[in-house]
Structure 1
Amino acid sequence: MDHASGQQHPIGVYLKVWALLFVLSTMSYLVDYFHLQGLLRWSLIVVFMLMKASLIVAVFMHLRWERLALVYAILVPPLCVLVLVALMVLEGDYIFLTRGAFFGG
Structure 2
Amino acid sequence: MSGTTSTAVAQTAPQGETQHHPIRLYLVVWGWLFILSTCSYLVDYFGLVGYLRWSLILIFMMAKAGLIVAVFMHMAWERLALAYAILLPPLALLVFVGIMVFESHYTLFSRLAFFAPGS
TM-score, reference length from structure 1: 0.94
- SS of the counterpart of 1:93? helix
Aligned letter for 1:48?
A: F
CA displacement at 1:2 relative to structure 2: 6.6
In the alignment, structure 2 segments of 5+ residues that lack a partner are 1-13
The match for 1:57 among 69, 75, 85 is 69
Cα distance in 2, alignment partners of residues 74 and 62 from structure 1: 12
In structure 1, the residue matched to 2:6 is none
In the alignment, structure 1 segments of 5+ residues that lack a partner are none
The match for 2:104 among 86, 92, 96 is 92
Q: Identity percentage over the alignment? A: 62
Greater Cα radius of gyration, structure 1 or 2: 2
Aligned letter for 1:104?
A: A
Q: Which has the higher contact order (CA 8 A, sep 6+)?
A: 1
TM-score, reference length from structure 2: 0.83
Give runs of ≥4 in structure 1 deviating > 6 Å: none
In structure 2, the residue matched to 1:102 is 114
- Coordinate RMSD, CA, aligned: 1.3
Listed one character per residue, the Cα deviations across residues 64-85 of structure 1 (whole Å, up to 9, x for unaligned) are: 0111111001000111111111
Cα distance in 2, alignment partners of residues 2 and 90 from structure 1: 53
